[in-house]
Amino acid sequence: MSSMDPSTGHPETTDTPQVLLEHHLSALRLPTILREYDKVAQQCAAESVDYPRFLLRITELELLDRERRAIERRIRQARFPVLKSLDSFEFLSIPSLNKAMVLELARCEFIGRRENVLLLGNSGTGKTHIALALGLAACQHGHRVRFTTAAALVNELIEARDERKLLRFQKQIASYELLIVDELGFVPLSKTGAELLFEMLSQRYERGSTLVTSNLPFAEWTEVLGSERLTGALLDRLTHHVHILEMNGDSFRLKQSKRKRATTNP
């Protein structure tokens, strides 16, 4: 039989505190505490843990889960085509690559200093893998990241200009703390595309970090951008505060293909 609540004059049900607690936790947007509080309370009761330590345990769970969700959200927003980490990169296959520098960059302190990274080398040597891994590390360190190819970025810039949304798109790209532009040099750019890309990257100068991968040495960037003046101005900005990683060597994909053929036809 239920008793009367003296404050309201209404019957008091035994489940009212739990219902109200769960309502408040939902309203406060504390889903992990809502999900785990009962289990943690039972554990703490069994271990004779006091109330402050009970609160410490459930708030720690909430914080850890919130950070996990935040990392997952930043990874989705980065638009990585695939997820890659440094753990799966074969450093021994590229002796020219400065491993110590890569590991230092993975700490992401360069982003706070608004420095750039350039990965240069022939095709198939793992430039995109390193770029993706550094982008993932940046997301895990709390930075907003956007991954794109040079061709895709130029197409987005042209579409935004044609739809009179260029300023909005430029502000959106500028908001990312790390912009990764992959495959600069694979496709020659139109005059308009090169100018828009130059403007975009120039706006990030000393305001945000930019990571560019290219299969071309600097001397050949003019073939992509179509103008020595534009190329010189872009390199001047990109290389002012920069970490350059040389990645010349045999193609990973070619090695894998040879190994596969050797396995198939011993």
Instruction: Write the pLDDT tens digit of every residue in 230-253.
Output: 999 999 999 999 999 999 866 555
Residues of the chain predicted below pLDDT 70:
1-15, 249-266
Task: Return the pLDDT at 11.
Answer: 52
Distance, CA of 193 to CA of 153 (rounded, Å): 9
Give whole-number Cα distances, 223 to 77, 121, 184, 233, in Å: 32, 16, 11, 15
Measured over the CA atoms of residue 170, residue 105, residue 147 and residue 159, the dihedral's sign is positive
Residue pair 97/226 in contact by the 8 Å Cβ criterion: no
- Structural domains in the chain, CATH included, are 14-75 (no CATH), 79-255 (3.40.50.300)
- Contacts of 50-53 with CB under 8 Å at 24 or more apart are none
Task: Return the pLDDT at 2.
Answer: 47
Structure tokens at 85: 């980490």
Task: Return the pLDDT at 56.
Answer: 87
Task: Return the pLDDT at 18.
Answer: 86
Q: What's the whole-model pTM score?
A: 0.81
Structure tokens at 230: 């534009």
Task: Return the pLDDT at 1.
Answer: 40
Instruction: Name the DSSP letter for residue 208.
Output: S
DSSP assignment string, 63-76: HHHHHHHHHHHHHH
